[in-house]
Amino acid sequence: KTPILKQQATPLYDEFILIDSMLLMDNNIGVIAYSGTAGAATIDDISQEEAAEDLLTSNLIAWMKTNGAFISDKIEIQRFQPPGVDYKIRGVFAKEDLAKDEMILEVPWSLIVQPSPEDDEYDDCSTMVNIFLDMKDDEGTPYGKYLKAQPRNYIRKFWSIEGQQLLRDMMGPLGPDYTPSDTSNFWRKRCGKRYNDKIFGASAKTTTDDLLLHAAMITLARADDYLMVPFYDMFNHRNGDRWYNAAHVMEEGSSQGLAAKRTVKRGEQLFLSYNQCNICGGRIHWHGTADMLDDYGFVEPFPQRYYDEDLRLKFDIDQIDEENGTKLTVKWGAPPSEAGAVFLREQLQRLEQMEGMKHEANADSLKVPMNESNKVWELHSAFIMALRAALDSLKGWTLTDIVDSIPNWDEYQYTFDEDGNLVSILDQDGSIMSSVTYLDEYTYESESEEHDEF
């Protein structure tokens, strides 16, 4: 599910050194089309690494179509340069208008990599094994070959110990409390001896096979839970009504695909949401920008979400275009409290004090790989910008602890007046409730033994 990121060089294979450029277009899906600040590129402008990647993608598309997949002829894959970076990434774009609910992609169940029948049907360790066996097989599928060539070790669990420690130190109480661990221990801790025996035999010791670890990482980063769906990872992530325009369409046991969530105009990029999609379940309420880096290896573009369970803080930051430039907007997803505001001020001060560390201690002195260091400081910058905007938005607001009295507080939407007073609570079904009535009902219920846990 993760966009293709500039993490590190993708290994090249001898058979990809000399490529007939005519092979790079196939089945009406434009595999090579370029855009970005540097203008249109030509075949001479791409590296051998990019050419190899494009050939793998073309072969994947041809294989999928031959085996019953539908990929709309109205889309194409482009490389483009996102704002603020000096490299290009890939994305899927509409080359013709797409109507609302028009199918973009449909992948038959037979092409989706999933747990084996003898294993638990929801066990992604089994999916990891099947991805590994496909990648290891010289005669494996084009999907296995495509995945094998993807960047290594780009989610936090597979970073160096030094990189994990730097991220933990930077995040402090803003992020999860974890102990950095050696990647080689991941397979043993995550999937255990049974799956190791299945691959290597009962007499084999727990392996640190690099390809197996890559299969595990790529499954964690790109699967829909326990399902690896070919072509899904071509679509980048972005939330918000302006951007999120490709909704999941799933028929369990038959197919999984994507349809246009709204009318999509020619030239628009097609975006999935990795945490606020129509099948994302409960994570739609809490999964935020820090989680995106942890789970998928990138700092998400605007809009971004910031969330703290202990202090019941939740707010979204977006960037909107204006005549004289851009500005940040803040939407609070829960009534902010004084304790929450104090916490944000303390964390902003702590992060600002770390600015010097970013410039004085380079990645070499910390023994942190450059790609990991870059991601840590990119998230650091995002948090500083978000906390400043959030605190600015609270100026003149009346802060209360009312959120502490609301069970399942993060599952609702709230409206406020210009002074920050809570006006209404929007229920999950879209109905508006009086906050006073709601809290009166909750107080009454909490007096019974059945609700003592609250």
C-alpha closest to that of 305 among 328, 282, 331: 331
Q: Determine the Cα–Cα distance for residues 167 and 373; give it in Å rounded to an integer.
A: 8
- Whether 344 shows a pLDDT value over 90: the answer reads yes
Residue 276's identity, in one-letter code, is Q
What is the token pair recorded at 366? 């910390």
For the chain, the C-alpha Rg in angstroms (whole number) is 24
Q: pLDDT value at position 45?
A: 52
Residue 31 half-sphere exposure, CB side, CA atoms within 13 Å? 23
For residue range 139-156, what is the model confidence (pLDDT) as tens digits? 999 999 999 999 999 999
Please state the rounded mean pLDDT for residues 196-225. Answer: 82
Q: pLDDT value at position 365?
A: 63
Q: pLDDT value at position 451?
A: 30
Q: Determine the Cα–Cα distance for residues 346 and 364; give it in Å rounded to an integer.
A: 30
For residue range 371-424, what is the model confidence (pLDDT) as tens digits? 999 999 999 999 999 999 999 999 999 898 988 888 888 888 888 888 888 888
For residue range 272-308, what is the model confidence (pLDDT) as tens digits? 999 998 888 888 888 999 999 999 999 999 999 999 9
Orientation of helix 124-136 relative to helix 210-222, angle to 10°: 130
- Whether 12 shows a pLDDT value over 70: the answer reads no
- What's the 3-state SS for the chain? CCCCCCCCCCCCCHHHCCCCHHHHCECCEECCCECCCCCCCCHHHCCHHHHHHHHHHHHHHHHHHHCCCEECCCEEEEEECCCCCCCCEEEEEECCCECCCCEEEEEEHHHCECCCCCCCCCCHHHHHHHHHHHHHCCCCCHHHHHHHCCCCCCCHHHCCHHHHHHHHHHHHHHCCCCCCCCHHHHHHHHCHHHHHHHHHCCCCCCCCCHHHHHHHHHHHHHCECCEECCCHHHCEECCCCCCECEEEEEECCCEEEEEECCCECCCCECEECCCCCCCCCCHHHHCCHHHHHHHHCCCCCCCEEEEECCCCEEEEEEEEEECCEEEEEEEECCCCCHHHHHHHHHHHHHHHHCHHHHHHCCHHHHCCCHHHHHHHHHHHHHHHHHHHHHHHHCCCCCCCCHHHHCCCHHHCEEEECCCCCEEEEECCCCCEECHHHHHHHHHHHHCCHHHCCC
Cis peptide before 303 (omega within 30 of 0): yes
Q: pLDDT value at position 180?
A: 92
For residue range 50-81, what is the model confidence (pLDDT) as tens digits? 889 999 999 999 999 999 999 999 999 999 98
- Whether 25 shows a pLDDT value over 80: the answer reads no
Residue 324 backbone phi and psi in degrees, to 5: -105, 20
For residue range 310-332, what is the model confidence (pLDDT) as tens digits? 999 999 999 998 888 889 999 99
Q: pLDDT value at position 151?
A: 93
- Whether 203 shows a pLDDT value over 90: the answer reads no
User: Which range among 188-197, 205-214, 443-452 shows the weakest confidence by mean pLDDT?
Assistant: 443-452
- For residue 250, list its beta bridge partners: 256
C-alpha closest to that of 4 among 150, 216, 156: 150
Q: pLDDT value at position 282?
A: 83
Q: Determine the Cα–Cα distance for residues 454 and 444; give it in Å rounded to an integer.
A: 12
Within the chain, what is the greatest distance between any pair of CA atoms? 75
Q: pLDDT value at position 7?
A: 30
Q: How far apart are the first and last CA of the chain?
A: 36
Residue 186 backbone phi and psi in degrees, to 5: -60, -50
User: Which range among 22-26, 159-163, 182-186, 197-201 shows the weakest confidence by mean pLDDT?
Assistant: 22-26
Q: Report the share of the chain in percent with pLDDT over 90.
A: 57
What is the token pair recorded at 257? 């695909």
Please state the rounded mean pLDDT for residues 122-132. Answer: 94
Give the count of beta carbons closer than 10 Å to the beta carbon of residue 452: 8
Please state the rounded mean pLDDT for residues 106-114. Answer: 97
